[in-house]
Chain A
Amino acid sequence: MGSSVASLAPRARTSENESEADFALIGHQESWRAAADVLAVLRGRQHTPLPDDEIQDILPWIPPRSVCHVEVASRLGVNARGVYIDSFIPPNRLDATCVHENLGRVRAAAACAINAGAKIVSLGGFSSILIEGNFDQLPERHDTVFTTGNTLTVAFIVQGIKKMCALEGRDLRHSTLLIVGATGDVGSGCARCLAPLVKRVLLSARNAERLRRLAAELRADGIEAEIVTDLNPIGRLKHDAEPRRPEADIVVCAASLPSPSLLLGCIATDAIICDAGYPKNLSPNAQMPEAKIFLGGLGQIAGGLKFSPDFRGILNRHPFPDVVHGCLLEGMALALEGRFEPFSQGRGFITPRRVEEIEAIAARHGIHLAPLH
């Protein structure tokens, strides 16, 4: 393994491997609007778009399958080809009550990736959350490896926070960082990378035991880490008798929420907030006019990205071109590098060293932090 020169050399394509995919990206749509857009592209301009009620009736029946071919170019002149596979998890069935059904969909999507001959598969959005720590539940695979892609997501979140702080003239060293969803793979990775850079870190998650373990791990490294049990406007720290405000001035939202529903009260009014959830975490009703909110975990491919059929702006719904979620970019970066390995395997293994490693791989191929928006 590693970044040998040989692994960077453009691989010749022959008729035998012409149809094989270097990578596969497994994803799902985070909203009915996004699902409608995907179906509209598939339906083509010559057909009238499906009404919303028909979309909600039809989509849950679509079996997981490849939706389009993807080609990504490295600035080194290498390219990699893959497929985007949608698990077609209905946007209203992302909650915990549908875990079994959704796991079945992710398994079926994984089988599609294996059938496509993908050498590496990135698990996007809820796909990775379902599979984290349960890689043994994926179908039997021969030459296909899976990565959650979360390490590159963490890298872009961390880079985004640093960039936004620089833009806003904030000094991380004097900041209090709140991580929502701190015990998840992305949340804990962010905690390990960002906590040493800030004055104090507040950790919030549903699983109290995992929170205690993470806080203890950080404290062992000399970090001031506290557990937050209440994100309401008058937040209380567990060991405090009295509520304290303002609390966090930098926030990373990385919770696994089925819909944007998070309301943050225990933060500074002008906090920098990175919403890295998929679906997004922050409720549209959150009233934070002075906060600097940006979408986190996104990267941009300098060498360009092609979809066939053309799903530009549909599968990557961002105002800037060639912007993709870090979790999906990780698989592409590793494919460009020729490193077909399960780089990110699940909850709790993301360390600053691994983040630096994937950042370097991505940067080598022209994959960088996306413009903040």
Chain B
Amino acid sequence: METVIGIDCSTNECTSFSKSAPIWQDVLAQAVTGELLAAMNYASLAEICNDPEEIADALEHAAGERGHAFRFAAEGRKIGVDVASNVDARHWKRLREIFLGCIAERDFIGCLIVQEIMLESFAVASYARVGRVAPGSLGETFAAIAGEEEGHVEHALAILRADRALDPRRFDDKVYRLHLEVMTTLAKMLAKECKDGHCEVCHASCVKPSLFDVSLSAAELRGASLQQYLKTLDSLGLPGEVTLQWVAQLPV
């Protein structure tokens, strides 16, 4: 596991977080890992773009996601915890492999579907929930980054809507194929219990049972993420009854 930033309990926030700090440490570790993975994905995306403007956009997004990772890490430093990341952790690694599959096929639209529709739905919704309950600047940072992520999803949605308009059936089939891979992995990550063993990101035992201590729950994060995902698919024009079946069939 890679340490993004070391312990530096030099601020007043340390004392108020003494009990919940280990919980926030793991929440931040998941967030940092997700942001670094997103940065890697956007960097890979830049390699298959032909349009200089698209390349610039992808690189800008990559830089933005790295910036998010550092902001989260900085929040960890404020509360005196060592925020680690592990993009090779089992689930995150699988998500990266799926994205790289799209890259190998030079499937720009597939890449956007994975990153902007699926992974960002998860990020936007879960950051927003954390932002509501996390105290002080930690909560403010989660809420602010949730807003920023939502902002760049809008740009991708416009591209995806235009692509779907060309051939809705082909587009929806592609979303479903990727859904089976990506959302099944995310559903396992979001399950109330990690049934496949340790996620390889939490610093000790699984953080999920402890989330209640900070007014969160794994069920809430999963529910909010799936809701955001369904709403995003709605906004692309996919039939609601179809996407509901997709989500209903995910593992729990």
Q: Which residues of A are at the interface with B, using a C-beta cutoff of 8 A?
A: 39, 42-44, 47, 50-51, 54, 57-58, 60-63, 65-69, 83, 112, 309
B241 contacts A57, CB within 8 Å?
no
Q: Which residues of A contact B245 (CB under 8 A)?
A: 42-44, 309
B223 contacts A58, CB within 8 Å?
yes
Q: Which residues of B contact A39 (CB under 8 A)?
A: 248
Quick one: which of B222, B223, B245, B248 has the most chain A CB within 10 A? B248
Q: Which residues of A contact B230 (CB under 8 A)?
A: 62-63, 65
Quick one: which of A42, A65, A83 has the most chain B CB within 10 A? A65
Q: How far is the CA of A39 from the CA of B245 in the complex (A)?
A: 9
Q: How far is the CA of A198 from the CA of B245 in the complex (A)?
A: 50
B226 contacts A112, CB within 8 Å?
no
Q: Which residues of B are at the interface with A, using a C-beta cutoff of 8 A?
A: 192, 219, 222-224, 226-227, 230-231, 234, 239-241, 243-245, 247-249, 252
B231 contacts A63, CB within 8 Å?
yes
Residue of A nearest to B239 (CB): A66
A57 contacts B240, CB within 8 Å?
no
Instruction: Give the contacting residue for A43; candidates B226, B241, B248; CB below 8 A.
Output: B248
What distance in Å separates the Cβ of A141 from its nearest Cβ neighbour in chain B? 18
Quick one: which of A47, A61, A68, A69 has the most chain B CB within 10 A? A61
List of 8 A-B pairs having minimum Cβ-Cβ separation, nearest first: A61-B223, A65-B240, A42-B248, A57-B219, A61-B227, A66-B241, A54-B252, A43-B248
Q: Which residues of B contact A42 (CB under 8 A)?
A: 244-245, 248-249
For the A-B complex with A61-B224, A67-B244 known, give 18 more contacts whose Cβ atoms are closer than 8 Å.
A39-B248, A42-B245, A43-B248, A44-B249, A54-B252, A57-B222, A58-B226, A62-B230, A62-B247, A63-B227, A63-B230, A65-B234, A66-B239, A66-B240, A68-B241, A83-B241, A309-B241, A309-B245
Q: Which residues of B contact A63 (CB under 8 A)?
A: 227, 230-231, 234
What distance in Å separates the Cβ of A311 from its nearest Cβ neighbour in chain B? 11
Residue of B nearest to A111 (CB): B234
What distance in Å separates the Cβ of A34 from its nearest Cβ neighbour in chain B? 15
What distance in Å separates the Cβ of B223 from its nearest Cβ neighbour in chain A? 3
Residue of B nearest to A64 (CB): B240
Q: How far is the CA of A66 from the CA of B242 in the complex (A)?
A: 9
Q: Known contacts A65-B240, A66-B239, A66-B240; is A43 also within 8 Å of B219 by CB?
A: no
Q: How far is the CA of A312 from the CA of B168 in the complex (A)?
A: 29
What distance in Å separates the Cβ of B192 from its nearest Cβ neighbour in chain A? 7
Q: Which residues of A contact B219 (CB under 8 A)?
A: 57-58
Q: How far is the CA of A83 from the CA of B223 in the complex (A)?
A: 25
What distance in Å separates the Cβ of B212 from its nearest Cβ neighbour in chain A? 13
Q: Which residues of B contact A83 (CB under 8 A)?
A: 241
A-B contact pairs, 22 of them (CB 8 A): A42-B248, A47-B249, A57-B219, A57-B223, A58-B223, A58-B226, A60-B223, A61-B227, A62-B227, A62-B244, A63-B230, A63-B231, A65-B241, A65-B244, A66-B239, A66-B240, A66-B241, A67-B241, A67-B244, A69-B241, A309-B241, A309-B245
Residue of B nearest to A59 (CB): B223
Q: Known contacts A61-B223, A61-B227, A62-B230; is A43 also within 8 Å of B249 by CB?
A: yes
What distance in Å separates the Cβ of A314 from its nearest Cβ neighbour in chain B? 13
Q: Which residues of B contact A112 (CB under 8 A)?
A: 240
Q: How far is the CA of A63 from the CA of B231 in the complex (A)?
A: 7
Quick one: which of A42, A51, A83, A112 has the most chain B CB within 10 A? A42
Residue of A nearest to B225 (CB): A61
Residue of A nearest to B227 (CB): A61
Q: Which residues of B contact A43 (CB under 8 A)?
A: 245, 248-249
Q: How far is the CA of A54 from the CA of B219 in the complex (A)?
A: 8
Q: Which residues of B contact A67 (CB under 8 A)?
A: 241, 244
Q: How far is the CA of A47 from the CA of B226 in the complex (A)?
A: 19
Quick one: which of A63, A66, A69 has the most chain B CB within 10 A? A63
Q: How far is the CA of A47 from the CA of B224 in the complex (A)?
A: 23
Q: Which residues of A contact B248 (CB under 8 A)?
A: 39, 42-43
What distance in Å separates the Cβ of A108 from its nearest Cβ neighbour in chain B? 10
Q: Which residues of A contact B223 (CB under 8 A)?
A: 57-58, 60-61
Q: How far is the CA of A43 from the CA of B239 in the complex (A)?
A: 16
Q: Which residues of B contact A69 (CB under 8 A)?
A: 241
Q: How far is the CA of A51 from the CA of B192 in the complex (A)?
A: 12
What distance in Å separates the Cβ of A172 from its nearest Cβ neighbour in chain B? 44
Q: How far is the CA of A62 from the CA of B239 in the complex (A)?
A: 14
What distance in Å separates the Cβ of B121 from its nearest Cβ neighbour in chain A? 12
Q: How far is the CA of A43 from the CA of B249 in the complex (A)?
A: 5
Residue of A nearest to B223 (CB): A61
Q: Which residues of B contact A68 (CB under 8 A)?
A: 241
Q: How far is the CA of A60 from the CA of B217 in the complex (A)?
A: 14
Q: How far is the CA of A43 from the CA of B20 in the complex (A)?
A: 37
Residue of B nearest to A47 (CB): B249
What distance in Å separates the Cβ of A309 from its nearest Cβ neighbour in chain B? 8
Residue of A nearest to B217 (CB): A57
Q: How far is the CA of A39 from the CA of B252 in the complex (A)?
A: 13
Residue of A nearest to B226 (CB): A61
Q: How far is the CA of A145 from the CA of B177 in the complex (A)?
A: 37
What distance in Å separates the Cβ of A320 from its nearest Cβ neighbour in chain B? 26
What distance in Å separates the Cβ of B216 from its nearest Cβ neighbour in chain A? 13
Q: How far is the CA of A66 from the CA of B238 in the complex (A)?
A: 11
Q: Which residues of A contact B234 (CB under 8 A)?
A: 63, 65
Q: How far is the CA of A95 from the CA of B234 in the complex (A)?
A: 29
What distance in Å separates the Cβ of B246 from its nearest Cβ neighbour in chain A? 9
Q: How far is the CA of A68 from the CA of B224 in the complex (A)?
A: 23
Q: Which residues of A contact B192 (CB under 8 A)?
A: 54, 57
Q: Which residues of B contact A66 (CB under 8 A)?
A: 239-241
Q: Which residues of A contact B243 (CB under 8 A)?
A: 65
Q: How far is the CA of A44 from the CA of B239 in the complex (A)?
A: 18
What distance in Å separates the Cβ of B126 from its nearest Cβ neighbour in chain A? 12
